[in-house]
Structure 1
Amino acid sequence: MKLRQKKILINHKRTERIYREQGLQIKTRARRKKIAAVERQPVELPENPGVVWAMDFVSDSVAHRRKLKILTVIDPVSNRSPLIHPAFSINGKEVANRLEIAKEEHGKPEYIQCDNGPEFRSKELDQWCYENGIKLVFSRPGKPTDNCHIESFNGTFRNECLNSHYFLSLKDAREKIIDWWEEYNVERPQKRLKGMTPLEYEGMLKKRKSNPTSGRM
């Protein structure tokens, strides 16, 4: 801009030529490597639970005014949800903290499938996954089917819980959401799970893994 003010003709080609002649180099900012990320592709569904978790966000509101953000996580093999967390605001650090709590109770997965939201691409979550030996697998742009299991769970969650309740406060929302979540995991038989609840089906898969001679159902 200063050169143009002085009526000196300049463009990017001339600038690059001058830099080459003077042996100069334009310093470019190094892009931070996602140390826990892997190639964008859907994870092949394993036979055993606890290997892959899928996570996403669902939005709602409290008293039709303040936005409610809900972190949802599901094991696509057993359909059991190890984590659901409603809050007014959830950043990458909070996602990592909630996953740490879920890890202590359920163990850690090998992969976590998610979309490209800023919370999931944060350095805090990336660092947590790296320290725990977990690979983050991001869905391909325009391919929501890469994470179809969490999309299906979120649809059920919205139809059966969010659309059925009016939340007076964050406390009220958490109580109603956790009640639904516990009922889904423990009491809800599912046709896909051979008529078992997610908790029962997960127990059956773990028992089969520890006793492979029992064969498949």
Structure 2
Amino acid sequence: MELMAGEESAYGYRKLRICLQRKHQLIINKKKTYRLCKELDILMPQRQTKPRYPRRIARNRTIHRSNELWELDIKYGYIAGEDRFFYLMAVLDVYDRSVIDYHIGLNCEGKHAAQTLQRALWKRKVYQTEKKPVIRTDNGPQFISRIFEETCEHCQVEHERIPPKTPNLNAHIESFHASLERDCYQKHEFTTYHDAYQIVTEYIDFYNQRRIHGSLYDLPPATFRRQVAARQVPSFTVTL
């Protein structure tokens, strides 16, 4: 209280702790200082920061064709031989269920999400088109990072995030993750990162090119997309 009555009155609890340590040689941590300040009602008002990129909540949509809505999410895998985890970040088209692009690595940051999104836009040839897909993610740190939001803004794509504890709003990529877990992760014990990378890459190729998908007229995603473009199978709508 003496500090708050003096020139240190502008300090918050963190700097008050430093003053107590330096001036009075007290052994005290910032948590204890916070509790004392709260009890004495001398906590400084918390600064209110306005986010540069406000969250857009995912809404119900009706999808009529490819490249309208993409879901982006992360799946963990375990490398038993090295006793560590790896990450798979994938971009999936809700309409044709294709894994457009992905990142596999021992770490997964906002920059990887940004790079994966940019590659997906180039692969689908929509990077420079006026109409671009909506990107739907959860609230993971990679997807709320500044670099990912800046990339979305630069590429002029709308980024929407599902509310917490609502994985059903990302149901299509969650379904892919379930297939990946059942058909790949559970059938292999990865000994090295290289081993995991090769096996998962091969599975994604199988998933896109050869795996029969019940909701796509029993066609693989790549075949379905070609046949829809050629009007060999009827198109449909996806409501979510």
- State whether TM-score is above 0.5: yes
User: Under a length normalisation based on structure 1, what TM-score does the superposition of the two structures give?
Assistant: 0.80
Q: In the alignment, which of 78, 81, 85 is matched to residue 61 of structure 1?
A: 78
CA RMSD of the aligned region, Å?
Answer: 2.9
Rounded to whole Å, the distance in 2 between the matches of 1:172 and 1:160 is: 16
Q: Secondary structure at the match of 1:54?
A: strand
Deviation at 1:204, TM superposition (A): 2.5
Contact 1:186–1:197 (CA<8 Å) still a contact in 2? yes
Rounded to whole Å, the distance in 2 between the matches of 1:169 and 1:113 is: 32
Q: Secondary structure at the match of 2:142?
A: coil
1:96 and 2:114 aligned: yes
Q: In the alignment, which of 144, 161, 174 is matched to residue 151 of structure 1?
A: 174
CA 1:161 to 1:45, structure 2 compared with 1: closer, same or farther past 3 Å? farther
Indicate the residue corresponding to 2:191 in structure 1.
Answer: 168
User: Under a length normalisation based on structure 2, what TM-score does the superposition of the two structures give?
Assistant: 0.73
AA aligned to 1:79 is R
Q: 1:72-103 CA distances to partner (integer Å, 9 max, x unpaired)?
A: 22111111111232211010011111222222
Rounded to whole Å, the distance in 2 between the matches of 1:216 and 1:191 is: 15
1:133 and 2:156 aligned: yes
Deviation at 1:175, TM superposition (A): 0.8
Contact 2:82–2:192 (CA<8 Å) still a contact in 1? no
AA aligned to 1:186 is Q
Q: In the alignment, which of 87, 105, 120 is matched to residue 87 of structure 1?
A: 105
AA aligned to 2:93 is D
Superposition map of 1:1-217 within 5 A: 1=1, 2-3=3-4, 11=41, 28-34=47-53, 37-38=55-56, 40-62=57-79, 63=81, 65-108=83-126, 109-208=132-231, 216=235
Contact 1:48–1:206 (CA<8 Å) still a contact in 2? no
Q: Secondary structure at the match of 1:203?
A: helix
**Unpaired stretches in structure 2, ≥5 consecutive residues:** 7-39, 127-131
Instruction: Report % sequence identity.
Output: 20
Contact 2:75–2:89 (CA<8 Å) still a contact in 1? yes
CA 1:216 to 1:126, structure 2 compared with 1: closer, same or farther past 3 Å? closer
AA aligned to 1:3 is M
Rounded to whole Å, the distance in 2 between the matches of 1:183 and 1:215 is: 24
